[in-house]
Amino acid sequence: MANLNLQCNCGNVQGFVKNVTPKSGNRCICFCKDCQAFPNELGQADSVLDEHGGTELFQAALSHVNITQGSDNLRCLRLTKKGLYRWYTDCCNTAVGNTVSAKIPFFGIVHSFIKDEMDRTELLGPIRGAVFIKHAKDGYEKPDTYASELVVNLRVIAKLLVWKMKGFSKPSVFFDENGRAIVKPNIIEK
C-alpha cells in the first residue's frame, strides 16, 4: 500500500495519507452548496470546482491524514456555526479538506491538496460517484460508470462505522486532545 502525498499550491504545507488504496476511502464528486461556497471564499473556485460546480474529494479516515510540514499555516472556516470544519492554508489559500468534528473519523480531502494528479487515478482508482447532484449546474449528467447517489452515501456510512470502531478519529492533526480545532474556526455566516 502506498501513501498519498499532500501539498498546498506553494509547497509550504505538506503531508500524506497513509496506506491508500481505491478501497481505503471514497473518491467522489460533491456538488453541495457549501462545497461550492468554500473555494469561492478562498478565491479558488477556478482551480477547485469543475464546470458543473463539483468538487472532487477523497474521503479518508481522519487519523490516517498526517501533516509533516507547515501545519502552522493551516486555517479553518465554517460556513455556518454548525457547518463542517473546512480547512485551508493561509500561505496560498489552497483548499485542504473537510472534517465534521474531532469525534467523527472522517476527512474529505479536496483534490487541490493532493500533490500529484496522477496519484488520483493510480492510487485512488476511478471516481465512484457524485453526491448532491441536484445542486450541479449547467446540464450535468451523471456518467454511466458512477454508482447511484444512494450507493455512494451508504458506502460512506459503512466506512464511517468501521473507522469509528477502529478508533480512527485519533490521533488527528486537526483537533487537540480536548477535541478543539487546532486553530479557531472563522465562522462565515451570510
Q: List residues near Zn ion by CB under 5 A.
A: 8, 10, 12, 30, 32, 35, 89, 91-92
CA separation (Å) from 58 to 41, 91, 97, 108, 139? Answer: 21, 23, 9, 6, 24
CB of 37 to Zn ion, least distance (A): 9
Minimum distance between the CB of residue 187 and Zn ion, rounded to whole angstroms?
A: 18
The three three-digit cell numbers of residue 96, written as one number:
485542504
Measured from the CB atom, the residue of 3 and 12 that comes closer to Zn ion is 12
CB of 55 to Zn ion, least distance (A): 6
Q: At closest approach, how far in Å is the CB of 108 from Zn ion?
A: 8
Residue 117 Cβ, how far from Zn ion at the closest point, in Å? 17
**Within 13 Å, how many C-alpha atoms sit on residue 131's CB side?**
20
CA distances from 153 to 6, 119, 147, 180 (A): 25, 24, 10, 27
Distance CA 76, CA 56 (A): 19
φ and ψ of 37, to 5 deg: -70, -35
Q: Which of 135, 131, 161 is nearest to 148 (CA)?
A: 131
3-state secondary structure of 106: strand
Rank residues 137 and 180 by Cβ distance to Zn ion and give the closer one.
Answer: 137
The SS3 call for residue 134 is: helix
